[in-house]
Structure 1
Amino acid sequence: MINPFKLYIDSFKGLSPESWMLAVVMLINRSGSMVLPFMGIYMTDHLGFGLKETGIVLSCYGFGAVFGSWFGGMITDKIGEFKVQYLSLFLSVPLFCLIPFFKTELSLAIIIFIQSSISDCFRPANSVAVTKYAKKGNLTRAFSLNRLAMNLGFSIGPALGGVLSTISYDFLFYSNAVGALLAAITYVWFFRNRKYRNEEEVLETKENADISPYRDGKFILFSFACFLFSVSFFQLLNTLTLFYKQEANLSQQGVGYILAYSGFIIVLMEMMLVQIADKKFRLQTTLFLGTLLCGISFFMLGFGTAVWFLVLSMTILCIGEIWTLPFMSTATALRSGVNNKGAYMGLLGIGFSLSFIITPFLGTLIAQNYGFTILWIGTGILMAITAVMFYFITPWMLGDKINQSA
């Protein structure tokens, strides 16, 4: 009989000290991430912006994230992930401190664009670091550990931000700066003289040894599938909460409970479910199942609003997320070569960043014009199509590498 507790503990075993420390840095950095969840409230309540102006400024954050993913990936391949990560963290400190001094729509849009561009350079560089410090056979679990730390940080940050914002909104920005500074100091202290574990073990092929990901047709198609998944999935952050509030008639506290429950499921089950998928499924099968489960979760919302039904849907969504997001990074790492890994991770990140711009507008537009039922059924169908794309594109893209230990 399987012992779930032992399986959970075993899922953390064998990870390298560097993988653990990258997760600690991510946890510190994301625990200080208090600005974004409260930026809309800050602009409307504190600065007196209208909804249209607030939306424009928030869109600048998304455009900055797209630029940062591209530039961060490119520069990582030129100067190395270590320099990109510590520069991104250290430069974020003064930028967070400067934000409270910008009060007009134009000036705030500019500083938010610059700040998100610098901050998001961190992501592709961090992903490259995960691939280079992970022990052989532990790559996907190393990505999952990092994602686990990010989810924990995003749970801690907004909770602290809610308390600090009642005192002064300025504390949100200064706390973000402190979080970035502590993460930077911790990162430099531990990784300054570290040697990579497995850079020499990455398999090179003539097909992708030096090619730019922007000229890699197979990977572009895979990235497009990741983008479709992101546009659908990240309704979790905006359209889904509106549905809970307007259609399911949940209180703000009730919405918070369901979102907190999703975080709890991720923390409790991610490493264990990733280990099961690593041992039992092929990579394309895991991506197929994870994406399909996410589609089923959204599809269900078109047919019920009872609390137990919403909790069941969220549970399925969390399992699907666990079996999709970290394995996207694994597939990207396996496709890339030694000298272009940052650019590949950057292109993957661009798809996610674009979804942050498109999803809020597209989701609310469909819900307003056609209703939430059509939105959720359509999302489920799109997820199912994306799942099939993953199933066929992944082995075609990776070839023999799909059997490489991750």
Structure 2
Amino acid sequence: MKTLLLRYLNSYKGLTRPAWMLALIMLINRSGAMVIPFLGVYMTQSLHFTIRETGTVLSCFGLGAVSGSWLGGWLSDKAGHFVIQLGCLLLCVPVFCILPELTQPAHLSAGVFILSLVTETFRPANTVSIASYSSPESITKAFSLNRMAMNLGFSIGPALGGFLAAFSYHLLFYGNAVATGLAGLVFYFFFRNRKGTQERKKRHDSEQNSHQNRSPWKDTHFLIFTLLCCFYAICFFQLLNTLPLFYRQQHHLSDWSIGLILAYSGFVVFSLEMPLVHLAGNRLSAAAAIVIGTLLCGASFSLLVFPGKLLLLYFSMFLLCLSEILAMPFMATVTLKRSSKDTQGAYMGMNALSFSAAHILSPFAGTRIVSSFGFDVLWISTGILAVITAAGFLWVMKKL
């Protein structure tokens, strides 16, 4: 037990104070993450949208995310990560407050597009900020700490959201607005006069001389890697799109029960990510971690075709959590190491773009497969796509 505790504490070594503060801000922000996990259920249950209309609105979230990912990467290189992060956090507040008033599919589609445009512009800037305040040796740990905070917040947000939804779905939007505004204020007061050290920049530059200022659009193997990240995200994002609908329609779970399963996923990732990433970093290559994580994602969804109730649902979610822990931090690390100081924003924007594109394709394809063929066909298709994607990662990582 003592050895396990020491390993857990060692996983935090080398992290700077700004890295911890970025994680705290992410925790505050994600503790209010109530809208997106329940958006599909809100549209079908409260607004009485069809599954196809729900999928269309969720795809508009993806369209905004694609635009925001490109915009965030470009603005981060031009204006700096501080201004972009602060602006996005504060702009989210009025958008969340307006969304409950939009009750028609076209109007809500536009509102969701604007919301995702703002939230996804934040992502590349946040990633560059983490890199700026971390040493090259601790970058993967810093990413994991940030994601750990995000998932701890995600374990709080959906549970609170499931409770509030029992009274009114509108409370989800207002609660999300309050949390985002608070995160913006904390971010401003801590980071307004703080910069990354020149020493870290020089050290990073010396490691990246071989591809200084290369555009990610001209990096062929990285483009293939990005496409594979998109395929992985298409599978993974069923978590936010069709999986809550599956819980409601096939297993007849209440909003509170759905919120508890989603909260459980956040708690698992929060509890296990840092020690597992630390262990994987010492025992596995980035390629092996990403491939294993991708296969676990496919296994998680494929299990849902088998009969079972809560035990099966929680075990499937546990496998999906392990997939996220192994795959996503190393995807970010590979992307960052592929870039130079002057192209960090562009490369991280490209990485974010792959996930944003999946926000379009995942709900659009998922809801239409469910509407035409049922949930079992969707879960089997997701498992097959994950296996193909894992094989692709195995090939391209040798080239990278």
Equivalent residues in 2 for 1:299-338 (5 A)? 299-305=302-308, 307-338=310-341
Q: Which residue of 2 aligns with 1:180?
A: 180
Q: Which residue of 2 aligns with 1:199?
A: 201
Equivalent residues in 2 for 1:296-375 (5 A)? 296-305=299-308, 307-367=310-370, 369-375=372-378
Q: Tell me which moved more, 63-72 or 228-237.
A: 228-237
Counterpart CA distance in 2 for 1:73 and 1:66 is: 11
Structure 1 residue 185, shift from structure 2 partner: 1.4
Q: Which residue of 2 aligns with 1:268?
A: 271
Q: Tell me which moved more, 261-270 or 30-39.
A: 30-39
Counterpart CA distance in 1 for 2:106 and 2:231 is: 31
Q: Which residue of 1 aligns with 2:288?
A: 285
Note closer, same or farther for the CA distance 1:39–1:316 as it changes in structure 2 (3 Å cut).
closer
Is the partner of 1:195 in helix, strand or coil?
coil
Is the partner of 2:195 in helix, strand or coil?
coil
Q: Which residue of 1 aligns with 2:144?
A: 144
Q: Tell me which moved more, 10-19 or 101-110.
A: 101-110
Counterpart CA distance in 2 for 1:288 and 1:194 is: 37
Note closer, same or farther for the CA distance 1:111–1:254 as it changes in structure 2 (3 Å cut).
closer
Aligned residue type for 1:201: R
Q: Is the 8 A contact 2:58 2:241 kept in 1?
A: no
Note closer, same or farther for the CA distance 1:322–1:38 as it changes in structure 2 (3 Å cut).
closer
Counterpart CA distance in 1 for 2:63 and 2:274 is: 32
Structure 1 residue 154, shift from structure 2 partner: 2.1
Q: Which residue of 2 aligns with 1:64?
A: 64
Structure 1 residue 256, shift from structure 2 partner: 4.6
Where has structure 1 moved over 6 Å in runs of 4 or more? none
Note closer, same or farther for the CA distance 1:178–1:258 as it changes in structure 2 (3 Å cut).
closer
Q: Deviations over 1:241-297 (max 9, x none)?
A: 4445555x4633655544333223212111110000111111112112222222333
Equivalent residues in 2 for 1:1-400 (5 A)? 3-40=3-40, 42-43=42-43, 52-197=52-197, 198-203=200-205, 205=208, 208-244=211-247, 249=251, 251-252=253-254, 255-305=258-308, 307-367=310-370, 369-397=372-400
Note closer, same or farther for the CA distance 1:46–1:374 as it changes in structure 2 (3 Å cut).
closer
Q: Is the 8 A contact 1:292 1:383 kept in 2?
A: yes
Q: Tell me which moved more, 103-112 or 120-129.
A: 103-112
Aligned residue type for 2:226: S
Aligned length in residues: 396
Structure 1 residue 239, shift from structure 2 partner: 3.2
Counterpart CA distance in 1 for 2:172 and 2:374 is: 36
Counterpart CA distance in 2 for 1:284 and 1:222 is: 11
Q: Tell me which moved more, 88-97 or 135-144.
A: 88-97
Q: Is the 8 A contact 1:331 1:394 kept in 2?
A: no
User: What is the TM-score of this pair, normalised by structure 2?
Assistant: 0.88
Q: Is the 8 A contact 2:30 2:154 kept in 1?
A: yes
Structure 1 residue 335, shift from structure 2 partner: 0.5
Which ranges of structure 1 fall in alignment gaps of 5 or more residues? 398-406
Q: Is the 8 A contact 1:64 1:113 kept in 2?
A: yes
Counterpart CA distance in 2 for 1:377 and 1:48 is: 28
Is the partner of 1:15 in helix, strand or coil?
coil
Note closer, same or farther for the CA distance 1:48–1:307 as it changes in structure 2 (3 Å cut).
closer
Counterpart CA distance in 2 for 1:306 and 1:33 is: 26
Structure 1 residue 331, shift from structure 2 partner: 0.5
Counterpart CA distance in 1 for 2:235 and 2:48 is: 32
Structure 1 residue 113, shift from structure 2 partner: 1.8
Is the partner of 1:137 in helix, strand or coil?
helix
Q: Tell me which moved more, 42-51 or 231-240.
A: 42-51
Counterpart CA distance in 1 for 2:192 and 2:271 is: 32
Counterpart CA distance in 2 for 1:96 and 1:370 is: 34
Aligned-residue CA RMSD (Å): 2.7
Note closer, same or farther for the CA distance 1:39–1:376 as it changes in structure 2 (3 Å cut).
closer
Q: Tell me which moved more, 364-373 or 106-115.
A: 364-373
User: What is the TM-score of this pair, normalised by structure 1?
Assistant: 0.87
Counterpart CA distance in 1 for 2:131 and 2:7 is: 24
Q: Is the 8 A contact 1:8 1:272 kept in 2?
A: yes
Q: Deviations over 1:62-91 (max 9, x none)?
A: 211111111011111111111111111122
Which ranges of structure 2 fall in alignment gaps of 5 or more residues? none
Note closer, same or farther for the CA distance 1:90–1:258 as it changes in structure 2 (3 Å cut).
closer
Note closer, same or farther for the CA distance 1:343–1:3 as it changes in structure 2 (3 Å cut).
same
Q: Is the 8 A contact 1:284 1:392 kept in 2?
A: no
Structure 1 residue 383, shift from structure 2 partner: 1.6
Counterpart CA distance in 1 for 2:26 and 2:118 is: 16
Structure 1 residue 372, shift from structure 2 partner: 4.3
Aligned residue type for 1:199: K
